[in-house]
Structure 1
Amino acid sequence: MNGTGTVHVVGAGLAGLAAAVRLVEAGRRVALYDQAPQAGGRCRSFHDPTLGRLIDNGNHMVLSGNRALLDYARRTGGSHALEELRPAAFPFLDLRSGTAWTLRPGGLWLFDPARRVPGSRPLDYLAALRCLTAGRAQSVADRLPPGGALFEPLWRPLAVSALNGPMERISARLFGAVLRETLLRGEAACRPVLAPRGLSAAFVEPALARLRAAGAALHLGARVDGVTFDQDRVSGFVAAGSAVTLGPLDSMIVAAPAWVAERLLPGLTVPPPGPAIVNLHFQLDGPAQLPGGLPFAGLVGGTAEWLFARDDLLSVTVSDADALADLPADEIAGRLWAEIAPHLRPAPRLGCPIPPVRVVKERRATPDQSPESVARRPGTRTRWSNLTLAGDWTETGLPATLEAAVRSGNRAAEATLSNGNNPIRRSRVFPAFTSFRHRPIWSDGGAVPARPGPEGQSKKRG
């Protein structure tokens, strides 16, 4: 490691962890900083004292086509905490009619009515190809107008949960990336990958162990402020009240949330925050069986998009949830429980109180993913020669997901390692930003809170 300098990574979410792991694998010295007392950012688990359980801040649906994310888990040793479901299957439930079906992509599935949405035809699915050729300014609703046979039972729940926004606002190009890398790549790219022991066990704790073993310096609970610059270089910053000076061979990667990066770096343009995401975790008397027999189900015709079951914990995710997040936690829990309880097996007894629940509201769960906001995403490189950016809010061509975070971290690390070898090209955000071409990969699901103490409350009932 002598003669290579230290890379200071600001932000210990998934993007920062991915960057740090890449760097130590290349033999670089790394110092990692995060203002939260724990790593993981919006992808972590925590112990809830009311439920007495380890729960995830939010729910993420990882798919087998998320190559960068799963490679990161393999390299850090987190793969043992993941479980892939084969063959690919996605149960859905219409909460209004009680109709249940299972989408089973792969092979000639479009020609088998039992593997499609009830009442749909093979030609109905071809409408989604319009998103693959969407213009930069077009929304999903522009390319998939309401009224189609699959708009409500399939496209809406997929798009709203993947991009956390209404169909009339979210980018058709980003939804096209979702479809290109999942349904259009066949069954092998669509297999759900679960983390039965929690997100931290799969994606956070193994990475921290890998970094510690490599001698990386981990500074948690260390807010970074006061970045200083000397011409085209970062020259120093303040972490937890102490000044850190960068030497001539040192570098920095800012992998913090967009609003933190905007605070630290003058002139940086970032996408604004998107709608809230609300997650509820109900503790049941015992395991519940969901429609379709798998540990998750898509929901149509109600408030939420996805339902997850893990042992006696039932979790619900609501994207594009600004209006819901404004309600008291009691009211949110009552509304969601009334929608899903009649469809659980075994069914809760009539008149039973709502079970203990944890309501988590996250008002900055993802960046806004409208076409206008996507155009504000910065590239990896900046006008400062020793500073790169990472995060699901940077230009990746993907929705703001776990896969996007890991890919951005990998790219920031690779740009840092090649610093001085590649010319820095001009871009729309900084005079010397550049972005890289790539093949998009998708991971989907609810986002998780970025702060150590998520907004919301737990309630014991009964």
Structure 2
Amino acid sequence: MKPVSAKVIGAGLSGLSAAVTLAQAGIRTELIDAAPQAGGRCRSYHDPQLGLTIDNGNHLVLSGNAATARFRETIGATTPLAGPEHADFAFLDLGTGERWTVRINDGPVPWWIFSTARRVPGTAFADYLPLSRLLGHAEGRIGDRIATKGRVWEHLLEPVLLAALNTTPADSSTALTGAVLRETIARGGRAMCPRIAEPNLAAAFIDPAIAWLAKQGSDVALGRRLRALTFDGDRVVALDFGETSEPVAKDMAIILAVPAWAAAALIPDLTVPDDHRTIVSGHFAMPAPAGAPAMLGLINGTAEWLFSFPDRLSVTVSAADHLVDTDRETLARIFWADICAALGLEEPMPKWQIVKEKRATFAATPAQNSRRPPSRTRWSNLFLAGDWTATGLPATIEGAIRSGETAAGLAIHSLSR
């Protein structure tokens, strides 16, 4: 018999994915989160300083992210994800003024590396061959597998991998890098097209998921923080929300989709990643000028990626622990200088906002990857979801959504026997 009900604790993308998967299977589901809004780190909010709705950070997905596509199709997300028709990645070296666009061909045979018009200027096709050493499953450091210098590394690999891993690429996990490369560049440009939530993450992911769950009769309770779990034998038997302690019925599944450090505080002896990296974003209330690329990689600047939206310009810096203590206005002025140089602007700095996510993702190192727990726990009715669980991917939107699917599938299978 299928479980009569389930509770999903945490309404970020992993929790939403779990709740949607459970509801699809006919499970009566309640989604609970401590925050006043759903979305977790992928939330959108109205910023009074800007007078705009912005995202907590600039997140993107790739056209080959299958779980992301399934999730959006299920919840009926009609807001399109913006991005080019092909896998074109524009770059600018702020130090030299050099501009180039890497154009990855659609099919899996990488003939783009043989075209001077498609690869990084000043490189030869042989410079790309060491990439094959990163396609395997073996664990290690990228810096021990390939040379982390040269134009291909500095003008393509390092900025792309830094964005994907949010960790200094040379120190990052080859297993996680290989998983990303096998699902993207190894499949060709059709799987590599960048996709940006427009106008924001809430419209692209969160709002349609909450609306879909409501139509299925699922309850969503925000502003309720889980304080403790009560265990008895091989089961969770009660949930302590502070003001109330709710018993867990024998036919109820519990999915914990909270951050790693919150899960570790709730579950005894749980090993989780404990080293995290910062992401810093800057948002500026100026519409993108005509002809501005939707996404531009910046080399030799402080900002690393520039995103152009109809109502704002935004920049992102990954693995930004070196910036987290910098004064916000100082950061804004540095970012604005990079934006002006990139887009040829001579404008005074508009209204701005700086967002610092200090524990944006776990560090994608071999040591931290080894600390990621599976979704199944030693308690028969408790399952884990989150981009920090053992998804095989770094901490990405795709990994978060997959983790929710995995946790929900295990819950349904385990409790329906």
Mapping for residues 160-309 of structure 1, pairs under 5 Å: 160-239=162-241, 241-284=243-286, 286-289=287-290, 293-309=292-308
Aligned equivalents of 1:273 and 1:211: distance in 2?
34
Q: CA deviation at 1:273?
A: 3.6
Distance 1:306 1:189 in 2: 20
- Which residue of structure 2 aligns with residue 432 of structure 1? none
Cα offsets for 1:252-306 (capped at 9, x unmatched):
000111011111111110001412110000112x42256xx53111111222221
Q: How do residues 360-375 of structure 1 correspond to structure 2 at under 5 angstroms? A: 360-375=355-370
Deviation at 1:328, TM superposition (A): 0.6
Q: Tell me what 2:7 maps to.
A: 8
Q: Residue type of the partner of 1:56?
A: D
Question: Partner of 1:408 in structure 2?
Answer: 403
Q: What CA distance in whole angstroms lies between the structure 2 residues aligned with 1:186 and 1:3?
A: 41
What pairs up with 1:62-141 in 2 under 5 angstroms? 62-106=61-105, 107=107, 108-133=111-136, 135-136=138-139, 138-141=140-143
* Match in the other structure for 2:392: 397
SS in 1 for 2:364: coil
Counterpart-to-counterpart distance in 2, 1:194 and 1:320: 20
**Residue aligned with 1:9, SS:** strand
Letter of the aligned partner of 2:288 in structure 1?
P
Tell which deviates more after alignment, 113-122 or 293-302.
Answer: 293-302
Distance 1:192 1:156 in 2: 17
Cα distance in 1 for residues equivalent to 2:302 and 2:363: 20
Gapped runs of 5+ residues in structure 2?
Answer: none
Change in 2 beyond 3 A, CA 1:327/1:123: same
The 1:4/1:275 distance shift into structure 2, 3 A limit, reads closer
Q: Pairwise mapping of residues 435-450 of structure 1 onto structure 2 (< 5 A)? A: none
Q: Offset at 1:401? A: 0.2
Gaps of 5+ in 1: 423-462
Name which of structure 1's ranges 304-313 and 138-147 shifts more when overlaid on structure 2.
138-147
1:381 aligned counterpart, secondary structure: coil
How many residues end up aligned between the 2 structures?
413
For residues 308-333 of structure 1, the C-alpha deviation after alignment (integer angstroms, 9 at most, x for no partner) is 01013110000111111111101111
CA contact (8 A) 2:89 2:103 kept: yes
**Percent same amino acid among aligned pairs?**
46
Deviation at residue 85 of structure 1 after TM alignment? 2.5
Q: Which residue of 2 aligns with 1:448?
A: none
Distance in 2, matches of 1:375 and 1:62, equals 25
Indicate how the Cα distance of structure 1 residues 186 and 221 shifts in structure 2: closer, same or farther if over 3 A, else same.
same
Q: Which amino acid aligns with 2:148?
A: P
Residue deviations 1:87-119, cap 9 Å, x none?
221111111111111111015212211111001
Q: Which residue of 2 aligns with 1:60?
A: 59
Q: Report how far residue 134 of structure 1 moved.
A: 6.2
Pairwise CA RMSD: 1.6
How far apart, CA to CA, are the structure 2 residues paired with 1:312 and 1:421?
49
Q: TM-score, normalised by structure 1?
A: 0.86
Alpha-carbon distance in 2 for matches of 1:329, 1:244: 43
Secondary structure of 1:38's aligned partner: coil
Q: Does the 8 Å CA contact 2:142/2:170 hold for their aligned counterparts? A: yes
Aligned partner of 2:413 in structure 1 is: 418
The 1-side partners of 2:221 and 2:275 are apart by 26
* 2-structure distance, mates of 1:135, 1:413: 28
What is the alpha-carbon distance in structure 2 between the residues aligned to residue 410 and residue 396 of structure 1?
11
Report matched runs for 1:147-162 at 5 Å: 147-162=149-164
Change (3 A) 1:84 1:159: closer
For the residues of structure 2 that align with 1:247 and 1:143, how far apart are their CA atoms? Answer: 51
> 1:211: how far off?
0.9
Q: Is 1:304–1:319's contact at 8 Å kept on the other side of the alignment?
A: no
Deviation at 1:145, TM superposition (A): 2.1
Indicate the larger mover: 79-88 or 10-19.
79-88
Q: Deviations over 1:21-53 (max 9, x none)?
A: 010111001111110000000112110111110
2: CA distance between counterparts of 1:33 and 1:240?
14
Look up the match of 1:26: 25
Does structure 2 retain, via aligned residues, the 8 Å contact 1:5–1:247?
A: no
Q: Distance in 1 between matches of 2:390 and 2:248?
A: 27
Structure 1 residue 240: deviation in Å? 5.2
CA distance in 2: counterparts of 1:161 and 1:66, whole angstroms: 16
TM superposition outliers: structure 1 runs of 4+ over 4 Å: none
Q: Distance in 2 between matches of 1:144 and 1:264?
A: 40
Change (3 A) 1:3 1:176: closer
On the 8 A contact 2:275/2:368 being kept in 1, the answer is no
2-structure distance, mates of 1:3, 1:153: 52
TM-score normalised by structure 2 residue count = 0.95
Amino acid at match of 1:5: V
Q: Deviations along 1:204-232, whole A, 9 cap, x unmatched?
A: 00110111111111110000012001100
CA distance in 2, matches of 1:380, 1:3: 19
Would the aligned equivalents of 1:278 and 1:321 in 2 still touch at CA under 8 Å?
yes
Measured in 1, the distance between the counterparts of 2:332 and 2:403 equals: 35
- Tell me the distance in 1 between the aligned counterparts of 2:137 and 2:28: 43
SS in 2 for 1:89: strand
Does the aligned pair in 1 maintain the 2:63–2:193 contact within 8 Å? yes
Of the structure 1 ranges 179-188 and 393-402, higher mean CA displacement relative to structure 2 is found in 179-188
Give a deviation string over 1:155-175, Cα, whole Å, max 9, x none: 110111111111232112211
Shift of 1:248: 0.9
Cα distance in 2 for residues equivalent to 1:289 and 1:244: 56
- Report which stretch shifted further, 2-11 or 71-80: 2-11
In structure 2, give the amino acid aligned to 1:69. Answer: T
Cα distance in 1 between the residues matched to 2:297 and 2:156: 9
Residue 124 of structure 1: CA displacement? 1.2
